[in-house]
Amino acid sequence: MHHMDQREQRDDSTSIILELSHLVCASLDRDEVFARMLDAVRRLSGAEIASLMLLDPQQQVLRMVAADGLAPELFDHCQLRLGEGIAGWVALYGQPVHVAQAGADPRFLPLVTPNDATLLCLPLRVRGQTLGVLSLVRQHSKGLFRAAVVQAVEIAANQVALALDSGTAASNNQRMYVDAQMRTSQFQLLHQFSARLNSFHEVGPLLDEAAYLLHHTFGYYQVLIGLVEGENLVAKTGYGVLTRADAWFFQQRFSLYVGLAGYVARTGETMLVNDVRTDTLYVALPELPATAAELLVAIKIEEQIFGIIIIESTQTDAFSRYDAQLVEALAGQTALRLAYLACQTELRRSTELLTQSERLRTLGELASGMAHDFNNLLTGILGHTQLLLNEELPNQLLTDLRVIERAAIDGAATVRRLQNFAQTSRALPSEEVDLNEVLSESLAITRPRWRDYPQSRGITITIRHEMANLPMIAGDGPALRDLATNLILNAIDALATGGELTLRTALIEPKRSPLSEISVLLEVRDNGIGMSSEVRSRIFTPFFTTKGLDGTGMGMTMVFGIVQSHRGQIDVISAPQQGTSVRIYLPVRSAQPREASRMSQPSQTVAHTILVVDDDDAVRQVLVRQLERLGHRIVGVQNGAEALHRLADQRFSILCTDLGMPGMSGWDLITHARILVEDLKVILVTGWGEQLSIEEARDRGADVVLAKPFEARRLQQVVAELVGEQ
């Protein structure tokens, strides 16, 4: 009878193992195959619980995927590290474990197996590779499983391993097929993106489309795109946790010398970091605390880096080299379009500059003509006033004359500013200028506008300084102060309800400068109301203003002219409700050393015979009377022809002539006078002011230029300099 029972058990075992072998080739759902296998193994062994754990070779983790005799909630999320617990040890070493008291084994971890249970744990191996672990549990230990049962279960375990291997192969094939379909779909989308590139005429929509494609089509958790601006990376767009709606995040500036993003933006090297905890360069963003892996790709063409694409994942080991290649392909297409848009922008800017220069030239010619006439008028007023101040007059009258003198001098300064519109023929500014000091002085001048007046209305304007160490440059200090003051006042006007005004300077290397040479950057930036593209395109147009009666429309025109006179470039970046940034690039040139003044006031005035030529009676009378007061012998005539007759008949040591005269110009008179009198000293008196450089005047025969209107002491100084040269 006993032998008959054993034979029946063997027949049952054979039947169950045959059943398992059929499951190896069954085309059933994976979970159903697992369930049937565990049911068969439990019947074969007489165990109360049969469970299956599969090995994740990348994570080195065993995860329970099926159990017979346990409720699902008891084994869901049950996992062990390789080598952990009895099952982990079996998977690591590929050896079975059979114990009568599981809790007595030092490797035991109380997950789903009771302490007093019998445990048989078998590795599932195919071709020397461990796929998982099969565990059998018999509660309230009745001793070890019988040897025949163990042998039958080992055969069953081999069938389970074969089923797993077959399923893995089929799963791999299916996965490869799905991957191939997905990659084909992605390349088709890349092709469509490439075909659409020509439809993007602005940078913003182009970057939005690239970020949207990566996030929504390829399924990445967070996509960010930033562009390189100077020494910073500026976040421009994104999709995922952060979107364009998060305006507080975008337009933030990140240093190129901080973090993985800065490294990629500097070097152009792709960085694939599948566990950010292991990379010392990684800097976490508070807005993305769940980031576990990061892929960063430069948007570049050869050595030119426009920006970077950053892709974040909440899972480690999320990215493959294929992902990097895919993003690199999209980044390359984006870079090509950015380069094209940059060329188009530069072309438009050059065209606008030519148009603007022509407008300024025309306006400058008009301004210069007006300035010349005003200077002649002011010369008569200032000269006669200073002559009267030398007379014995009542104190009240002297006081009134000094008011007239001050007004005439201030008027002369106003005319000089008007003449700035005709700067095309002027030499490059050569004064030594500290740009940081210029900004600080302009900020001090405008303090009532950005501090006192807003505070009286309960408004706060915060000033931020981002000043770099800069070399001294050659420039026009007063003009640059006017420039900075205009920009600060415009920024204040854009902050009607308060905000932040940033003053920034930087030293820009040639490859990052639009001037293609080492340059200094002066930037005035606000977070105010901004401006539309239409307004931005007209801000340099003379008399264009958005301030109504409060504006003249000449501030930015003067700024433009000052930048041009320094051979610089001005860029304006703005959008409605996104603030405005005005960036001015100036070349770094060394200031020319100043010539030491040769003026020495003689202790006793030596009388000279001076010929004064000017067609304006008031100016001529002022020159004659002021020079006579200095003790010189003066002859005054009103045109060049009469002057040449005098020079032919009489000996003169100094010729003092106007430039613009009817009939014969001052230049022609000087040329003929040099022929008649070889050692004649020439003072060129002109209402064209500083537009005429001393170098040009000397090349054409004049020894010194005296700009109208002039003060009496300046005339005395000029004559003394010429006398000293003799």
Q: CB within 8 A of 237, min separation 6: which ones?
A: 204, 207, 208, 211, 224, 225, 244, 250
Does the pLDDT value for residue 545 go beyond 50? yes
Which residue, 319, 243, 333, is CA-closest to 288?
Answer: 243
pLDDT at 395: 83
Question: Residue 155, Cβ neighbours under 10 Å: how many?
Answer: 16
> CB of 265 within 8 A of CB of 234?
no
Which DSSP string corresponds to 481-517? HHHHHHHHHHHHHT-TT-EEEEEEEEEE-GGGSTTSS
H helices present in 617-689, as ranges: 617-629, 640-649, 666-676
User: 709 preceded by cis ω (within 30°)?
Assistant: yes
Lowest mean pLDDT among 302-311, 401-410, 564-573, 707-716: 401-410
Give 203-221 pLDDT, tens digit per residue. 888 998 888 888 876 667 7
The Cα 522–Cα 263 span in angstroms is 25
Does the pLDDT value for residue 56 go beyond 70? yes
pLDDT at 120: 92
pLDDT at 428: 61
Give 444-454 pLDDT, tens digit per residue. 888 888 988 88
Question: What order of strands is seen across the sheet that includes strand 499-508?
Answer: 461-466, 499-508, 519-526, 580-587, 569-574
Does the pLDDT value for residue 525 go beyond 80? yes
Name the residue with higher pLDDT: 160 or 118.
Answer: 118
As a CATH number, domain 424-587 is 3.30.565.10
Distances (CA, A) of 702 to 245, 672, 686, 718: 67, 12, 12, 12
Does the pLDDT value for residue 648 go beyond 70? yes
Lowest mean pLDDT among 89-93, 532-536, 552-556, 560-564: 552-556
What's the topology of domain 609-723?
Rossmann fold (3.40.50)
Query: Phi then psi for 444, rounded to 5 degrees?
Result: -65, -40
> CB of 90 within 8 A of CB of 115?
no
Tallying the residues shown for the chain, one arrives at 726
Give the pLDDT band of residue 297 (cuts 50, 70, 90): very high
> CB of 639 within 8 A of CB of 613?
yes
What is the average per-residue pLDDT within 382-403? 80
Most confident listed range (230-244, 397-411, 643-657): 643-657
The Cα 504–Cα 627 span in angstroms is 51
How would CATH label the architecture of 201-422?
Answer: 2-Layer Sandwich (3.30)
> CB of 22 within 8 A of CB of 40?
no
Give the pLDDT band of residue 32 (cuts 50, 70, 90): confident
- Using only C-alpha atoms, the chain has a radius of gyration, in whole angstroms, of 44
What is the average per-residue pLDDT within 685-693? 70
pLDDT at 13: 60
Give the pLDDT band of residue 655 (cuts 50, 70, 90): very high
pLDDT at 596: 40
What is the average per-residue pLDDT within 123-150? 84
Instruction: Give the torsion through C-alpha atoms of 217, 219, 222, 227, to 10 deg.
Output: -40
> CB of 569 within 8 A of CB of 514?
yes
What is the average per-residue pLDDT within 552-562? 77
Most confident listed range (133-147, 339-353, 519-533): 519-533
Mean pLDDT for the chain overall: 80
Does the pLDDT value for residue 663 go beyond 90? no
What is the average per-residue pLDDT within 320-333? 84
The Cα 380–Cα 678 span in angstroms is 32
Residues of the chain with CATH 3.30.565.10: 424-587
* pTM, rounded to two decimals: 0.41
The Cα 701–Cα 699 span in angstroms is 6
Residues above pLDDT 90, as percent of the chain: 18
DSSP H/E element including 181: helix 147-196
Question: Residue 43, Cβ neighbours under 10 Å: how many?
Answer: 16
Q: CB within 8 A of 547, min separation 6: which ones?
A: 493
Q: CB within 8 A of 12, min separation 6: which ones?
A: 43, 44
Does the pLDDT value for residue 2 go beyond 60? no
Give 370-382 pLDDT, tens digit per residue. 666 777 777 878 8
Name the residue with higher pLDDT: 198 or 339.
Answer: 339
pLDDT at 79: 82
Lowest mean pLDDT among 502-511, 594-603, 704-713: 594-603
Residues of the chain with CATH 3.40.50.2300: 609-723
What is the average per-residue pLDDT within 24-37? 69
Give the pLDDT band of residue 690 (cuts 50, 70, 90): low
Most confident listed range (145-154, 599-608, 641-650): 641-650
**How is residue 320 written in tokens?**
């493959």
Residue type, 4: M
Does the pLDDT value for residue 420 go beyond 60? no
Residue type, 316: T
Give the pLDDT band of residue 602 (cuts 50, 70, 90): very low
Q: Which residues of 361-372 are buried (b: 16+ CB within 10 A; e: fewer)?
A: eebbeebbeebb
Does the pLDDT value for residue 184 go beyond 70? no
**How is residue 190 written in tokens?**
């890349």
The Cα 716–Cα 722 span in angstroms is 10
Residues above pLDDT 70, as percent of the chain: 80
The Cα 486–Cα 480 span in angstroms is 10
The pairing of beta strand 304-313 with beta strand 222-229: antiparallel
Question: Residue 469, Cβ neighbours under 10 Å: how many?
Answer: 8
* 434: three-class secondary structure by DSSP: coil
pLDDT at 262: 92
pLDDT at 595: 44
pLDDT at 543: 66
The Cα 322–Cα 328 span in angstroms is 10
Q: Answer yes or no: CATH 3.30.450.40 is held by domain 1-171.
A: yes
* 429: three-class secondary structure by DSSP: coil
